[in-house]
């Protein structure tokens, strides 16, 4: 009986020692892990709220029209300037021809106005010459009036003495009256010529104004021609940058409106990471610090990078409906601030295999 009791007491003691050893090892391991994490946290800041980003250039038509050709496929690599879509251009070609015809008409109108201006200026010269000729005739008529008046006055004195006949007196009187009437006619002709000169001058001014209007019309028509040609060029939609086309949701015969989103060109030659750090992690973050990026798509591979810049506001500020703390519904939550992280080792072949939207983990080296 004593031997059995001694054996049963030894077994629990042995198990107790084993349990104690395992517990001590677990505590030591946990403590070592905790200490290592604490030491790591003193020199690192980490977050898994991060994604790969890239420039997405939307392919948007600048004019409305029906799709005539689709020259790109899903996931096709394209270069800047490559033709992606071609819209039906027949209407736009007609508009170009119409604008060019209107320009030609405006140019002919200007030529006509210039010809009228030249003719009016010639008429002014003719009218001025006519006025000059009449002035010379008036001077001669005034001399004739003076001479016939002198003759009449002498004959009037002689008729009183009966030194001349009545016929001679009447002839002198008729010559005087004829000269005066001729002078009056010439003066009226001069007034008429002056009025005609004024009218021709006004006409010349009017035709000069018409030339200016015609030139303004030509400039307007030229703008319309340029606009029509520009719209015609918009019927060929080209790639805005080098990259890879996304899913092409466009079919031939489809109507596209101005500004309608179709698909995008993803620039895979310039990618970066946007990591959203908690505001409590920003104490020691600085631009230029070394960053190690690990992508879920390539486990175990470390990408070299650096902290490039900080967002000017938290992510919630850019939300469609940002929170309004002044409304009385304030609940304090830790905010996150986007940080831009750029890759530094561009010789890494896997960098070019990262795609926009991939999840990554970032580890910022504080020291």
The predicted pLDDT at position 16 comes to: 73
**Which residues, in sequence order, are bridge partners of residue 65?**
256
Two tokens at 229? 């040609």
**Which residues, in sequence order, are bridge partners of residue 67?**
87
HSE-CB of 77 using CA atoms within 13 angstroms: 2
**Residue 81 gets which letter from DSSP?**
T
The CA–CA distances, whole Å, from 137 to 107, 129, 134, 175, 268 equal 45, 13, 5, 17, 95
Where residue 253 falls (left for φ over 0; alpha for ψ -120 to 50; beta otherwise) is left
- Whether 365 and 306 have beta carbons less than 8 Å apart is answered as no
HSE-CB of 297 using CA atoms within 13 angstroms: 13
Contacts of 319 (CB under 8 A, 6+ apart): none
Each of the 367 residues of the chain gets a pLDDT tens digit; together they read 444 555 555 555 556 777 778 778 888 878 777 766 666 556 788 899 999 999 999 999 999 999 999 999 999 999 999 999 999 999 999 999 999 999 998 888 877 776 766 666 666 666 666 666 677 777 777 777 787 787 777 777 777 777 777 777 777 778 777 877 877 877 777 777 666 666 666 665 666 677 777 788 888 989 999 999 999 999 999 999 999 999 998 999 999 999 998 999 999 888 999 999 998 888 889 999 999 999 999 998 999 999 999 999 888 878 777 776 666 666 778 889 999 999 998 888 898 889 999 999 999 998 7
Contacts of 69 (CB under 8 A, 6+ apart): 85, 86, 252
Helix axes 90-160, 166-233, angle to 10 degrees: 170
The predicted pLDDT at position 187 comes to: 72
Comparing CA positions, the residue from 311, 310, 312, 308 lying closest to residue 288 is: 308
Domains belonging to the chain, first-starting first, are 44-55+267-367 (2.40.30.170), 61-88+235-260 (2.40.50.100), 90-231 (1.10.287.620)
**What percent helix, strand, coil does the chain show, rounded to 5?**
55, 25, 25
Two tokens at 7? 């054996």
């Amino acid at each position: 009986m004593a031997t059995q009791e001694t054996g049963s007491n030894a077994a629990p003691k042995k198990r107790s020692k084993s349990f104690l050893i395992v517990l001590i090892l677990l505590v030591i391991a946990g403590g070592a892990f905790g200490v290592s994490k604490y030491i790591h946290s003193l020199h690192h800041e980490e977050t898994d709220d991060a994604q790969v980003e890239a420039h997405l250039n939307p392919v948007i038509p600048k004019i409305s029209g029906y799709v005539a050709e689709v020259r790109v496929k899903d996931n096709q690599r394209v270069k800047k300037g490559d033709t992606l879509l071609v819209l039906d251009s027949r209407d736009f070609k007609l508009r170009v021809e119409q604008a060019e015809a209107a320009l030609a008409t405006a140019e002919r109108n200007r030529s006509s106005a210039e010809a009228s201006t030249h003719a009016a200026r010639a008429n002014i010269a003719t009218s001025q010459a006519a006025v000059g000729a009449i002035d010379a005739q008036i001077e001669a008529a005034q001399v004739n009036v003076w001479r016939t008046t002198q003759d009449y006055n002498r004959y009037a004195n002689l008729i009183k003495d009966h030194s001349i006949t009545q016929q001679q007196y009447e002839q002198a009187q008729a010559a005087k009256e004829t000269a005066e009437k001729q002078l009056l006619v010439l003066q009226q002709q001069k007034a008429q010529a002056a009025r005609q000169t004024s009218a021709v001058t006004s006409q010349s001014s009017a035709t000069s104004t018409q030339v200016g209007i015609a030139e303004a019309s030509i400039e307007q028509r030229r703008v319309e021609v340029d606009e029509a040609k520009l719209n015609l060029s918009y019927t060929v939609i080209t790639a805005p940058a080098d990259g890879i086309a996304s899913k092409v949701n466009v079919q031939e015969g489809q109507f596209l409106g101005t500004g309608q989103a179709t698909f995008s060109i993803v620039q895979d030659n310039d990618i970066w990471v946007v990591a959203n750090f908690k505001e409590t992690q920003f104490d020691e973050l600085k631009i230029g610090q070394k960053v190690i990026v690990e992508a879920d798509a390539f486990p175990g591979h470390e990408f070299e990078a650096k902290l490039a810049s900080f967002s000017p506001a938290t992510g919630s500020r850019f939300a469609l409906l940002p929170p309004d703390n002044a409304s009385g519904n304030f609940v304090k939550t830790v905010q996150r601030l986007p940080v831009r992280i750029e890759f530094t080792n561009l010789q890494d072949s896997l960098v070019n295999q990262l795609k926009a939207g991939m999840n990554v983990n970032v580890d910022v080296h504080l020291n």
